[in-house]
Amino acid sequence: MGAWSGVADESNVDNGHWLDQLNPQQREAATAGDGPILVIAGAGTGKTRTLAYRVAFLLEKGVEPERILLLTFTRRAAQEMLNRATNVTRKIAEGRANTTSRGLQPARSGNRNHATRVWGGTFHATANRLLRVYGDAIGLGSNFNIVDAGDAADLINIVRQEQGLTSKEKRFPRKATCLAIYSRCVNSGDSLADVLDGYFPWCADFEDELKALFAGYVDAKQARGVLDYDDLLLFWNELLKSKTLGPKIGGRFDHILVDEYQDTNRVQADILRAMQRDCPNVMVVGDDAQSIYSFRGAEVENILNFPDQFPGTRLITLEQNYRSVQSILDATNAVMLGAKQRYTKELWSNRRSDSKPTLIICRDEDDQTRTIIDRVLEHYEEGIPLQRQAVLFRAGHNADQLEVELTRRNIPYVKYGGLKFLEAAHIKDIMAFLRILENPQDQLAWSRSLNLLDGVGPKTAAAAYEHVRSAGFNPAAIATFSPPTAGRASFAAFASLVVEMTVDGGSGSVSDQLHRIRKIYDPLVEATYEPAEPRLRDLDQLEHIAQRYQSRRAFLDDLVLDPPSSTSDFAGPPMRDEDWLVLSTIHSAKGCEWDVVYVIHAADGVIPSDMATGRDGEIDEERRLFYVALTRARDRLYVSAPLRYYVAGRPMTDRHSYAQLTRFITDDVRRQFDVVSPEPALETEDAITDVDDADSIRSRLRARWD
DNA sequence: TGTAACTCCCCTCCG
DNA sequence: GGGAGTTACA
């Protein structure tokens, strides 16, 4: 996406010693010796830069790249750091070449892409990589399919129906809720009763049923040869418990670096501790004030208690902010002052500014949309490209109206977060076809594909799966299944394609395979969706990204583990040199920065979300989220809130409701902003001293009549 | 057994 | 506005 922290490139490392590019604390972190290290890095303090230099330092020291494991929150973050590390090592090598006699090759000249051999990625992606290697050893096999949250919820639903858990007197929790409960249990290690009590009190009546459901879900995953996201971590953790495999896996590495440690959960911390037995050099980096993923089971205690859990920890704190002007930091520091749990860091910057950030109070959402777009265009006219400006919001749909208006005005934008490309039905359908070929046990994939065919519903799909199963999971057996009803034409076409592709499945590139599937799938799309055109274009794009992959397995795994976060991630060359505005959820903006940032919908109920007011600590997390949003800004920061929302109801009864500015902007915080309001006359003013007070005015007015 | 049409309820953030 | 559950009909 837009700009990553510390956009400054590493191009000038050859002026003086390369480590001179870092401040003393950063340098201490980058060059620290062995043992556990905790780096507390406030927003914008050069964390990415420090990690990149750390990697470069280790490589320079002679550590083999494949013996370094870099765990990050997204794969994009890992790539960014490794690219920068590569730049640093290249500059060092060039510098060395210049100081040695001409004609000599620089040291390690064959290792230009050294850093690309570092193990880098998310916990989940790393787990996948390890399980593909060691899965056979524990009977997991290496051809498991990974299911995303939607598929996992569907599978839970199947089990639920099998178990007859369709109570009528009181509604059973929805499938997504069931999955969320399950996930929280396994990620936190807490008992079902505690999780229900603490987070899902309205589901407490179903404890026994849920217990049975989850047991059935675990069995169902096993029977179908699939792992969900949580399984990846759980299985990795289990591998490490083995007396033989554990040391092997940990022993693969000499150094483990973990970014965004404040957003790891208990299983991830367990994994790290287990890895550390055989790889003592662990460095974690994070910021307790930016912990925003507890909804996913993240525990900020992991970073707070790191020194206890890893004895001998060296603590390094980065406090100088290189990103924002001081006036923005004044505002963000003020926001954090209100946190129940006080954080110790107070960020400071050398970057001065003569203007405060701006708080824009808007009449309603229309007003907000217009105002934001106007400001964006003003800054654009001043010479700040759209890509260096970002609009941030709490939830994906908060940007709906803005998107409509940007489209109407022909202003290009990309949106990150919110609904994923991959979650669209037509994408999942066609991916299901590939999943069948890769792992014929995957019942979800079969039923998804089969249900598309005319005259095939759940029953027929289940019978067909059973047929394939009894044939030893040979996918080609589908050809000998005869569907009971009409519509045999499309079934026959489907079956013969499966047979064809089973026979020569390995041959042909992934995008070729997709292309062949589309011959029967496109007509189905055209028949199913009214404007089919945009969906077909999505499939074109899918085919386009598939070109980057050598293997079907890698393609499937990547799309689940590292889904394209916006449609522009695979936009073709035409977009390349255009400019576009960035729209992003605050969560997806983590780690990024822009010259100008607009935080919209800063109204109570949105920030903090009205869904997050239940528990202690949830409000604090919303505050941190707001803090993360504000600290993305380098030069200019706008916060806006509509005071009125239209509630789209039935025709003729459209009403509006009134909103309040987010509670995180207290009077103290507000003083750090310039306030723009549509109705300044209605603003309440603090005590004014340059006119008489009301009493003296009244007595003077009265005096005329004396 | 599959499908279309109708109802009701609830809606977040992500790997 | 869309998922999930129900009903009527082919």
Indicate if the pLDDT at residue A5 is higher than 60: no
Structure confidence at residue A572 (pLDDT): 38
Q: How far is CA A283 from CA A6, A310, A376, in A?
A: 20, 10, 40
Nucleotides of C under 7 A from a protein CB: 1, 3-6
Structure confidence at residue A331 (pLDDT): 96
Distance, Å, A418 CA → B13 C1' = 8
Stretch A374-382: mean pLDDT, rounded?
A: 97
Q: What angle do CA A514, A518, A521 make, to 5 degrees?
A: 130
pLDDT bracket for residue A455 (50, 70, 90):
confident
C-alpha A362/C-alpha A379 separation (Å) is 19
A70, β-bridge pairs: A120, A257
Indicate if the pLDDT at residue A8 is higher than 90: no
What is the share, in percent, of chain A residues with pLDDT greater than 70?
86
Q: How far is CA A631 from CA A66, A251, A597, in A?
A: 34, 39, 9
Distance, Å, A110 CA → B11 C1' = 55
Indicate if the pLDDT at residue A566 is higher than 70: no
- The pTM of this model reads 0.89
The more confidently predicted of residues A70 and A491 is A70
Stretch A204-216: mean pLDDT, rounded?
A: 91
Structure confidence at residue A435 (pLDDT): 93
Indicate if the pLDDT at residue A633 is higher than 50: yes
Would the CA dihedral through A640, A641, A643, A649 be positive or negative? positive
Q: Which of residues 478-507 of A touch strand B (CB under 7 A)?
A: 484-485, 487
Structure token pair of residue A688: 């004014």
C-alpha A326/C-alpha A347 separation (Å) is 9
C-alpha A143/C-alpha A441 separation (Å) is 10
pLDDT bracket for residue A653 (50, 70, 90):
very low
Q: Is the CB of A295 under 7 A from strand B?
A: yes
The nucleotide whose C1' lies nearest the CA of A174 is C4
C-alpha A489/C-alpha A638 separation (Å) is 59
For residue A12, report the phi and psi dihedrals to the nearest 5 degrees. -110, 25
Q: How many CB atoms lie within 10 A of CB A618?
A: 17
Structure confidence at residue A490 (pLDDT): 83
How many residues are recorded in chain A?
A: 706
Indicate if the pLDDT at residue A662 is higher than 60: yes
Cis before A563 (ω within 30): no
What is the share, in percent, of chain A residues with pLDDT greater than 90?
59
Stretch A201-215: mean pLDDT, rounded?
A: 90
Structure confidence at residue A469 (pLDDT): 94
pLDDT tens-place string over residues A233-263: 999 999 999 999 999 999 999 999 999 999 9
Q: Is the CB of A149 under 7 A from strand C?
A: no
Contact A594, A632 (CB under 8 A): yes
Provide the greatest CA pair distance for chain A: 110
Structure confidence at residue A614 (pLDDT): 63
C-alpha A662/C-alpha A602 separation (Å) is 5
Q: What angle do CA A456, A543, A577 make, to 5 degrees?
A: 145
DSSP string, A618-633: HHHHHHHHHHHHHTTE
Where is average pLDDT lowest: A120-134, A372-386, A571-585, A621-635? A571-585
C-alpha A630/C-alpha A636 separation (Å) is 10
Q: Is the CB of A589 under 7 A from strand B?
A: no
Structure token pair of residue A695: 């009493």
The more confidently predicted of residues A657 and A106 is A657
Q: Is the CB of A460 under 7 A from strand B?
A: yes
Structure confidence at residue A686 (pLDDT): 59
Q: Is the CB of A183 under 7 A from strand B?
A: yes
Structure confidence at residue A109 (pLDDT): 41
The nucleotide whose C1' lies nearest the CA of A176 is C3
| Tally of CA atoms within 13 A in the half-sphere of A10 that contains its CB | 27
Nucleotides of B under 7 A from a protein CB: 1-3, 11-15
Stretch A185-211: mean pLDDT, rounded?
A: 90
Distance, Å, A177 CA → B9 C1' = 15
A114, β-bridge pairs: none
Where is average pLDDT lowest: A123-127, A325-329, A539-543? A539-543
pLDDT bracket for residue A570 (50, 70, 90):
very low
Structure confidence at residue A3 (pLDDT): 52
The more confidently predicted of residues A193 and A616 is A193
Stretch A627-655: mean pLDDT, rounded?
A: 78
Where is average pLDDT lowest: A161-165, A538-542, A601-605? A161-165
Indicate if the pLDDT at residue A652 is higher than 50: no
pLDDT tens-place string over residues A55-102: 999 999 999 999 999 999 988 889 889 999 999 988 888 877 776 655
Where is average pLDDT lowest: A7-11, A319-323, A377-381, A440-444? A7-11
Quote helix, strand, coil % in chain A, to nearest 5.
55, 15, 35
